[in-house]
Amino acid sequence: QVQLVESGGGLVQPGGSLRLSCAASGSIFSIITMGWYRQAPGKQRESVASITTSGATNYANPVKGRFTISRDNAKSTVYLQMNSLKPEDTAVYYCNRVQPPKYSWGQGTQVTVSS
């Protein structure tokens, strides 16, 4: 069973930056398209960004040009660099594989953008 551990969240002012990390256990990480997701209070979980095994990326419209997803297959880790953060980016951020079936969700990491 793959375990996902997200980290790197915190409180940041509007316009600030954070870098999230997601460490995945299991040897199949390198062949899995991975994604970042977020869930704001009272809202459904939504996709933020994804990255294929070859490094091709895709972003949700609200974060295009501000967020960058990357991966290190040797470390079984996927990253999300978030710049120019806005209050509407406030959410719990999760990582998971893109294709179903999803792995069990980790605990997520809280990102709060506020002055």
| pLDDT 10s digits, 17-54 | 999 999 998 767 778 899 999 999 999 999 999 999 99
Work out the pLDDT band at 86, boundaries 50, 70, 90.
very high
Structural tokens at position 82: 């978030």
* Predicted pLDDT at 27: 67
pLDDT at 57 over 70: yes
Query: How many whole angstroms separate alpha carbon 100 and alpha carbon 45?
Result: 15
Task: Report residue 6's pLDDT band, with 50, 70 and 90 as the boundaries.
Answer: very high
Task: Confirm if 63 and 48 have CB atoms less than 8 A apart.
Answer: yes
Half-sphere exposure of 85 (CA within 13 A, CB side): 23
For residue 98, give the amino acid letter: V
The letter for the amino acid at 13 is Q
> pLDDT exceeding 90 applies to what percent of the chain?
88
